[in-house]
Homo-oligomer: A and B are copies of this chain.
Amino acid sequence: MCAIFGIAGADEAAKLAYLGLHALQHRGQEGAGIATTQDAKPYVFKRQGHVGEIFSPDVMRDLPGRSAIGHTRYSTAGGNTALNLQPLVMKSALGWIAVAHNGNLVNAGEVVHRLETEGAIFQSTTDTEVFIHLMARSPHRELVPALTYALSQVQGAYSLLVLNSRQLIAARDPMGFRPLVLGDLRGSPVFASETCAFDLIGARFIREIEPGEMLVVDLDEVSRWESLRPFPKSPHKKCVFEHVYFARPDSNVFGSNVHGVRKALGRRLAKEQPVPGGEVVIPVPDSGVPAAIGFAEESGIPFDMGIIRSHYIGRTFIEPKQSIRDFGVKLKLSPIRSCVEGSRIVVVDDSLVRGTTSKKLIKHFRDAGAREVHLRISAPPTTSPCFYGIDTPTRAELPASSQSIEEIRRYIGADSLGYLSLSGLIEVASASSASGFCHACFSGEYPTAVSNK
Contacts and interface: CB of A to CB of B under 8 A. Distances in A.
B313 A52 contact: yes
A355 interface: no
Nearest to A97: B121
A228 interface: no
Interface in A111-149: 116-123, 132-133, 136-138
Given A116-B92, A338-B260, A311 B311 contact: yes
Interface in A54-83: 55-57, 60
A434 interface: no
A119 B93 CA distance: 6
Given A18-B318, A120-B92, A293 B297 contact: no
Given A116-B92, A121-B91, A325-B202, A52 B196 contact: no
Interface string A5-28: 000000110011011001101100
Contacts of A249: 305, 308, 336
11 contacts: A22-B310, A53-B315, A91-B122, A92-B119, A92-B121, A200-B324, A200-B334, A259-B336, A293-B303, A293-B304, A297-B302
A335 B308 CA distance: 21
A87 interface: no
A158 to B, nearest CB: 19
Interface of A: 11-12, 15-16, 18-19, 22-23, 25-26, 29, 50-53, 55-57, 60, 90-93, 116-123, 132-133, 136-138, 196, 199-202, 248-250, 257, 259-260, 263, 289-290, 293, 297, 302-305, 308, 310-322, 324-325, 330-331, 334-339
A116 B122 CA distance: 15
Contacts of A119: 92-93, 118, 120, 133, 136-138
Contacts of A289: 305
Given A119-B92, A321-B12, A334-B200, A316 B55 contact: yes
Copy tally for this chain in the complex stands at 4
A251 B90 CA distance: 40
Nearest to A201: B324
Contact of A121 (B121, B304, B308): B121
A15 B263 CA distance: 41
A50 B325 contact: no
A313 B22 CA distance: 8
A253 to B, nearest CB: 12
A318 B60 contact: yes
Contacts of A263: 304
Contacts of A136: 116, 119-121
A262 to B, nearest CB: 10
Nearest to A322: B11
Given A313-B52, A322-B12, A123 B123 contact: yes
A339 B259 CA distance: 8
A416 B193 CA distance: 38
A53 B315 CA distance: 6
B320 A19 contact: yes
A241 to B, nearest CB: 19
Contacts of A51: 312, 314
A200 B304 contact: no
A97 to B, nearest CB: 9
Nearest to A324: B202
Query: Which 10 A-B pairs have CB atoms at the shortest separation, nearest pair first?
Result: A52-B314, A119-B137, A257-B338, A93-B116, A260-B338, A250-B336, A92-B121, A250-B334, A90-B121, A119-B136
A336 B260 CA distance: 9
A334 B119 CA distance: 46
Nearest to A341: B257
A219 to B, nearest CB: 19
Contacts of A313: 52
B336 A52 contact: no
B316 A52 contact: yes
